[in-house]
Structure 1
Amino acid sequence: MTLKYQKAQYTPLVPAKHKVKENTKKFASIVLCFWLTSILMGIAIYFTNFLELVSYSSKEILEHQLYMDDIVINRAALNGYLINTAGCKIPEMNPFDASVKAFVSKPDMMVCNKNIPPLFDSNLTSIYLVEPALKHYNISNSTELTCCYKSFWREDPKGSDNDKQMKFSENCTNIEDFSAYIIDEFIKVTCDYETKQIYEDYFAFVPKKRNESIDRSDRLKPNILIVGLDAVSRVNFHRQMPRTLGYLVNKLGAVEMLGYNKVADNTFVNLMPVLSGHFVDELKQTCWPNDTVRFDDCSFLWNNFSDKGYATTFGEDCAWMGIFNFVKRGFGKQPVDYYYSPYSWITENAIGNDKDFNCELCLGGRKVYSTALDYVSKVVQTMAIDSQPHFTFFWTVSLSHDYLNYPSLGDSTYYNFFKRLKDDGLIENTVVVFMSDHGIRWGDIRQTYQGQLEERLPFVYIVVPDWIRTEYPKSFANLKRNSRRLTTPFDLHETLKSFLHVESLGKEKVTVDYSSRSYSLFDEVPANRTCESAEISAHWCTCQQSVDVNVSDASVIEAAQFAVGYMNDQLRGYAQCVKLTLDDILNARLLYHTEKEIEKGNDLKDYTVTIRTTPGEGVFEATVRVKNNVFTAVTGTVSRLNLYGKQSSCMTDFHLKLYCYCDSLLKTF
């Protein structure tokens, strides 16, 4: 059957060639008419966009366009592509493209604790009563109010226990005059009024744990601060958080990695290359053989920096579904000096509220993500006071994991977070990485071509201290050049490792391994780098050109059936899961391969199909490879595009939860 192709959505923009007219008056009139027509069309488009994007002002859209004009040095040379190299072409995408505008909106503001504010607050070393809040608790006589606090700490989990074990002190220390100096790391505050408990709250502090202070003039130990915002594509970051974007680029001089391509499906499998330099399957061969084993035997970046005298911090909010916790066992021994995740898990269970699908959005009267950033600020400030070099890795999930538009609610908070750090002089000798792991992985936008690309292209911004830019100009020039090359989480790992020996930035490499899957971003990434050489499977690769294919095409149908068969093969041996059946093919694309593959004599085709299965109406996206007219494999993994909720509650394997529909659900109908 002949394939029927629709026009590709992203086609290189070919500059028009104009002939010079001899009659200049006629030419001038043509130009004048052209510009008048363009202006009228522009006005019409503006008002169309205004009506369709009621929630976004024209100023926001214009500011984004001006920013894009600034970062793309030679738009003509890029021909409509954000990355345009010999090995990779990634199309430029408009955050407000017509294909995705319907999914963009301003969400309702979060309401924490029914708008009842916290009764206590904290600074670096103390807790104190917030007197204006008394009226919200109907406290008319503060002499009747008594408050105390208990310290608590992490205990090593045993057996199959989750990594959230905490032990509380038996005594509750009275808070005299409604303020107290705290020497503990974690505390629980309770208050009674007229013999009844009316308040419960939790606070985290950063007590000194190391004595590795350095001379403030010693710049060879730059701090490392990595702040993650889960499930936000580069394009959606532009769309949702323009204030933070503007501050990073214009005030901090951040370099945006425009071609940063994820290498696997979800958070865990994309952050393992960053933290360990390995794929998950490689970890299974060395230090983490299965899901029941804890991660203590694996080496992560914080171990390398700890060996160099750095204080180390790792934390995340919504920790029950955290990087090392979701259907996994976490750590036995505490992995870093300051370990926030168990605290997050315990406190969100205790006073979390305004839960929206997966995560509690509030911790008492505070937003969860805001509380997490306040803790990071405490870490950075404490390390600066103690002249202690630090490696801090913090991942925020609650704001952005579940919904495309929620990041806009945190724009001002993240903007203020970075602004305070800079204004207070806390990051002058700090490498700052602000990043995500992937774009939104489900929802209606994922069934568009742009949504598919966005999901594979998370945002990454890198800020380096001024002295590194000055002393190692070639390395910094490479970083900027690489912002327009295909890059991966493995490259970010190598880049962070380079700060263990900063002086190495000034050393020329005698030879460059052009077949390597990872490069420091301070070395030039080859322009002919392909997804294949970067070890990005075709399913996740955004470099390949593709076209729409008719869903009734025989090859598409065969690809869809192959994908369903693949999922059923993965579920074989799990009797609790029902066999899946193809229900519908929603869309399909044919991916082109490089001339290099053709020269090898390989007749390769990759079909990316979006399908729906029964039972459960799961929507999946799979890339199926055809070699010499034979369907041979699913590349990468099969992506789940809609939420599965409790459909897979009978499955404990975190990979297979995406596919499993529990047999017990059929028996309930």
Structure 2
Amino acid sequence: MFSSVVNHMKGYTKIKRNPSNGMEADETKLKVPSVLWIPLLICGALLFFVDVFQIKYYSLVPTKAPLKAAFSGRKSLAGFAINTPGCRIPYMDPFDEHIMKFIEAPDAPECNKGVPALYKSNLTSVYLVNASLAFYDVMDPGELKCCYQAFWRKKPKADEGDNKVTYSVECYSLGDSANIDEEFIKVQCTYENNTIYKDMFAFVPLKNTTPVAVRISPRPLSVLVVGLDAVSRLNLHRQMPETVAYLTGIGAVELLGYNKVGDNTFPNLVPVLTGMFEGELRNSCWPTDKHHFDKCHFLWDDYKLKGYTTVYGEDSSWMGLFNYQRRGFQKQPTDYAYNFFNRIAEKEIGNAHSMNVDQCEGARLVYKDLLEYIGRFATTMDKNDVPYFGFFWGASLSHDYLNKPKLGDEDYRDFFKNLKEGGHLERTALVFMSDHGIRWGDIRQTYQGRMEERLPFVIISLPAWYRERYRRAYSNLQKNVRRLTTPFDLHETLKDLSSPYNLTEETTTTTTNSRGYSLFKEISPKRTCDDAEISSHWCTCQESFEINKTSTVVVQAANFAVDYINGELEGYAQCANLTLDVISNARLMTHESHIEGDNKIKDYMLTIRTLPGEGIFEMTVRHSVVRGKFEVIGSISRLNLYGKQSSCISDFHLKLYCYCKSLLY
């Protein structure tokens, strides 16, 4: 960089004679006064320092800058978002012309076919909305009869799924308004002997969940994790610029090199919540899908032991982390649990169904109902000076569509703004995150789409007083913005926050080799995907280039991958044998130069289509050059939806591959 500045200066040493004023100069050399070299040398040195040592750059979007302009000219770090000795992740323009063709304005759902709610709720009560009576043809309000039933989660038996509730026998009369002491209620209204309205409401009554003897003094930071399913870091900037701008405006830190470690939600959140891979979880406490998760240890258990109140909640919980093709828990895992409310609410009053989700519960948007609950929970806990650990996951807005997160931008911005203005973020560490980018669709078959799918967003907000008090820890967090990071690191960070006043100089120093480091410790710039135990298939640090998809070795690798899939389906006679139809893309992934001799390998990233069913798959096939053998590395990704093609099996891993023979006839 410095030499380029000097050369740039040299380019202006020649001038020509100006006949009009008789000025003459040496046409081959211009002598610059020595005093002028000082500022020029300082500027050159500064540019060199910025380029080489990567002066901090933590936010891609200034608070008030237009989004498109905010990204223009951001190709810093020589074209890389992460540029360390161990990892180079290329800069990618979220508004690249090859990507923008997939970006469009989403259609907003119409809840309840446009009919508004007859009752609404606040922190402690429900109340009648008189303006809604006409929509239900209620001419005489005196004849409207409404009541509510409380309901509770029902503990499942050993062979049952965690999806049942029990209702109170009595339905309590409900007038224009009523204070509610229960956690979950169902409201029903009749008019002229016909049931005209049904709704469900969730509240946060204070529970004596933690013995006073184990309460921490001074009061620790609460920890709130808010998840948004299937949103890459770049798609967050495309779809939710107001939310990003607000969070960065209050000093939140965004990780630029957060790399997923598995295919879908489960293998990427299990490491966050347990510090284990999915396979390790199976070996330790959850041997099969038919077992409950009660024997497993989760982060909320650590917080509970330290005196925190705990809460866990998801929307679209029928396909939730512990419920999709799984049996959940027998004992409720946290003090408060929103999942069970959501499951029943969507079953009873879910509507505006699209793809895999109900977008509405009655007249309310599902994702907004979850945000409302989180806000009520934070208000109740802080009002009563109760520290909490909350883990929430939203899928209804973003799970199935690349562009629908745009619909929630203002709502998420306002949600975080309300937390801030309500004083909640002064006593809370906030993590806003995703598990991966969109995993299917046309964008997923592009190079950038593949990279985005592996790079979800993580944004962390800490109170200003906490950042000031623990400067070393916060400085390390800032340094790690441009380092390779993983869900295992987030797990260690959340563990650190369970003892938030222990982040001393000694505890924030990295001393051991581990696949997971707290983000409050400086992660080595030499860290590689191998060090972090990220499979080659998911690693975004590798450089790659497109190769001839008809070459002999590529065809051999593709056929090997199809044989591998058929081998996985062995024993499932109801699934058809797959054959290779098309190789649509092939890339060669580069490796460290030290892999030589008998260990020489090449990794091929392939996108193929199989028959029957036209399934589109992406996989990494490793070729041992000397031995001539192939090996599938990591998981195989399904890039298009399979719908009911695999309805003949229940294994949630193999559903990606199976094409039921019954569909052939």
Give the TM-score taking structure 1 as reference length: 0.89
CA drift of 1:384 comes to 0.8
CA drift of 1:215 comes to 13
- Residues in 2 aligned to 1:385 and 1:631: alpha-carbon distance in whole angstroms: 63
Aligned to 1:172: 171
Q: Which has the larger displacement, 159-168 or 272-281?
A: 159-168
Preserved contact between residue 219 and residue 429 of structure 1 (Cα < 8 Å) = no
Aligned to 2:620: 623
SS at match of 1:613: strand
User: Do the aligned partners of residues 487 and 195 (structure 1) sit closer, same or farther apart at CA in structure 2, a change above 3 Å counting?
Assistant: same
Q: Does 1:114 align with 2:113?
A: yes
Aligned to 1:64: 67
Aligned counterpart in structure 2 of residue 602 of structure 1, from 599, 602, 611:
599
Aligned to 1:370: 368
Q: Which has the larger displacement, 131-140 or 509-518?
A: 509-518
**How big is each residue's C-alpha offset from its partner over 1:261-295, in whole Å with a ceiling of 9 and x where there is no partner?**
00000000100000000001001111000110000
Q: Does 1:23 align with 2:23?
A: no
- Residues in 1 aligned to 2:478 and 2:217: alpha-carbon distance in whole angstroms: 26
Aligned to 1:7: none
SS at match of 2:66: helix
CA drift of 1:350 comes to 0.8
Q: Does 1:663 align with 2:661?
A: yes
SS at match of 2:529: coil
Preserved contact between residue 624 and residue 631 of structure 1 (Cα < 8 Å) = no
Q: Does 1:322 align with 2:313?
A: no
Q: Does 1:471 align with 2:462?
A: no
Aligned to 1:277: 275
**How big is each residue's C-alpha offset from its partner over 1:332-373, in whole Å with a ceiling of 9 and x where there is no partner?**
110001111121111101110010010000100010000011
- Residues in 1 aligned to 2:217 and 2:158: alpha-carbon distance in whole angstroms: 44
- Residues in 2 aligned to 1:565 and 1:362: alpha-carbon distance in whole angstroms: 42
Give the TM-score taking structure 2 as reference length: 0.89
**How big is each residue's C-alpha offset from its partner over 1:378-422, in whole Å with a ceiling of 9 and x where there is no partner?**
110110111111101000000000010000000011011101111
Alignment of 1:17-416 (within 5 A): 18=8, 19-24=10-15, 63-64=66-67, 67-68=70-71, 76=76, 78-176=77-175, 178-210=176-208, 212=210, 221-251=220-250, 253-416=251-414
Alignment of 1:450-599 (within 5 A): 450-509=448-507, 512-513=510-511, 515-598=513-596
RMSD of aligned C-alpha atoms?
Answer: 2.4
Preserved contact between residue 220 and residue 502 of structure 1 (Cα < 8 Å) = no
Code of the aligned partner of 1:554: T
**How big is each residue's C-alpha offset from its partner over 1:109-131, in whole Å with a ceiling of 9 and x where there is no partner?**
11111111111111111111111
SS at match of 1:105: coil
**How big is each residue's C-alpha offset from its partner over 1:557-580, in whole Å with a ceiling of 9 and x where there is no partner?**
111111111111111111111111
User: Do the aligned partners of residues 513 and 474 (structure 1) sit closer, same or farther apart at CA in structure 2, a change above 3 Å counting?
Assistant: closer
- Residues in 2 aligned to 1:154 and 1:242: alpha-carbon distance in whole angstroms: 38
Code of the aligned partner of 2:625: N
- Residues in 2 aligned to 1:226 and 1:368: alpha-carbon distance in whole angstroms: 18
Code of the aligned partner of 1:312: T
Preserved contact between residue 258 and residue 455 of structure 2 (Cα < 8 Å) = yes
- Residues in 2 aligned to 1:643 and 1:179: alpha-carbon distance in whole angstroms: 46
Aligned to 1:4: none
- Residues in 1 aligned to 2:652 and 2:452: alpha-carbon distance in whole angstroms: 23
SS at match of 2:538: coil
Could you tell me which runs of 5 or more consecutive residues in structure 2 were left unpaired when the two chains were aligned. Answer: 18-61
- Residues in 2 aligned to 1:25 and 1:517: alpha-carbon distance in whole angstroms: 63
- Residues in 1 aligned to 2:566 and 2:408: alpha-carbon distance in whole angstroms: 40
- Residues in 1 aligned to 2:424 and 2:125: alpha-carbon distance in whole angstroms: 21
- Residues in 1 aligned to 2:548 and 2:340: alpha-carbon distance in whole angstroms: 50
- Residues in 2 aligned to 1:219 and 1:356: alpha-carbon distance in whole angstroms: 47
Code of the aligned partner of 1:133: S
CA drift of 1:312 comes to 0.6
Code of the aligned partner of 1:139: V
CA drift of 1:308 comes to 0.9
SS at match of 2:346: helix
Code of the aligned partner of 1:355: H
- Residues in 2 aligned to 1:288 and 1:447: alpha-carbon distance in whole angstroms: 34
- Residues in 2 aligned to 1:127 and 1:66: alpha-carbon distance in whole angstroms: 45
Preserved contact between residue 354 and residue 362 of structure 1 (Cα < 8 Å) = yes
- Residues in 2 aligned to 1:214 and 1:80: alpha-carbon distance in whole angstroms: 55
User: Do the aligned partners of residues 385 and 336 (structure 1) sit closer, same or farther apart at CA in structure 2, a change above 3 Å counting?
Assistant: same
Code of the aligned partner of 1:376: I
SS at match of 1:127: strand
**How big is each residue's C-alpha offset from its partner over 1:177-222, in whole Å with a ceiling of 9 and x where there is no partner?**
x111111111000011122111000001111112657999955510
Aligned to 2:35: none
Code of the aligned partner of 1:616: G
User: Do the aligned partners of residues 485 and 382 (structure 1) sit closer, same or farther apart at CA in structure 2, a change above 3 Å counting?
Assistant: same
- Residues in 1 aligned to 2:15 and 2:94: alpha-carbon distance in whole angstroms: 40
CA drift of 1:513 comes to 4.6
CA drift of 1:482 comes to 0.1
CA drift of 1:15 comes to 7.7
Give me the identity figure in percent: 52
- Residues in 1 aligned to 2:378 and 2:456: alpha-carbon distance in whole angstroms: 25
Could you tell me which runs of 5 or more consecutive residues in structure 1 were left unpaired when the two chains were aligned. Answer: 1-13, 27-58
- Residues in 2 aligned to 1:228 and 1:578: alpha-carbon distance in whole angstroms: 37
Preserved contact between residue 605 and residue 619 of structure 2 (Cα < 8 Å) = yes
Preserved contact between residue 547 and residue 590 of structure 1 (Cα < 8 Å) = yes
User: Do the aligned partners of residues 65 and 516 (structure 1) sit closer, same or farther apart at CA in structure 2, a change above 3 Å counting?
Assistant: farther
- Residues in 1 aligned to 2:479 and 2:360: alpha-carbon distance in whole angstroms: 41
Preserved contact between residue 120 and residue 129 of structure 1 (Cα < 8 Å) = yes
- Residues in 1 aligned to 2:609 and 2:373: alpha-carbon distance in whole angstroms: 43
Code of the aligned partner of 1:23: K
**How big is each residue's C-alpha offset from its partner over 1:416-471, in whole Å with a ceiling of 9 and x where there is no partner?**
11011111112211000000000000000000000000000000000112222111
CA drift of 1:503 comes to 2.8
Code of the aligned partner of 1:607: Y
- Residues in 2 aligned to 1:159 and 1:207: alpha-carbon distance in whole angstroms: 29
Code of the aligned partner of 2:117: P
CA drift of 1:507 comes to 3.4
Code of the aligned partner of 2:612: P
Preserved contact between residue 276 and residue 300 of structure 1 (Cα < 8 Å) = yes
Preserved contact between residue 559 and residue 631 of structure 1 (Cα < 8 Å) = no
Aligned to 1:33: none
- Residues in 2 aligned to 1:69 and 1:310: alpha-carbon distance in whole angstroms: 45
Count of equivalent residues: 617
CA drift of 1:597 comes to 3.2
- Residues in 2 aligned to 1:182 and 1:25: alpha-carbon distance in whole angstroms: 88
- Residues in 1 aligned to 2:568 and 2:333: alpha-carbon distance in whole angstroms: 33
Q: Which has the larger displacement, 462-471 or 414-423?
A: 462-471
- Residues in 2 aligned to 1:159 and 1:499: alpha-carbon distance in whole angstroms: 34
SS at match of 2:426: coil
Aligned to 1:56: none
User: Do the aligned partners of residues 492 and 510 (structure 1) sit closer, same or farther apart at CA in structure 2, a change above 3 Å counting?
Assistant: closer
Preserved contact between residue 399 and residue 407 of structure 1 (Cα < 8 Å) = yes
Aligned to 1:428: 426
User: Do the aligned partners of residues 112 and 183 (structure 1) sit closer, same or farther apart at CA in structure 2, a change above 3 Å counting?
Assistant: same
- Residues in 1 aligned to 2:135 and 2:143: alpha-carbon distance in whole angstroms: 15
SS at match of 1:99: helix
Preserved contact between residue 191 and residue 199 of structure 1 (Cα < 8 Å) = yes
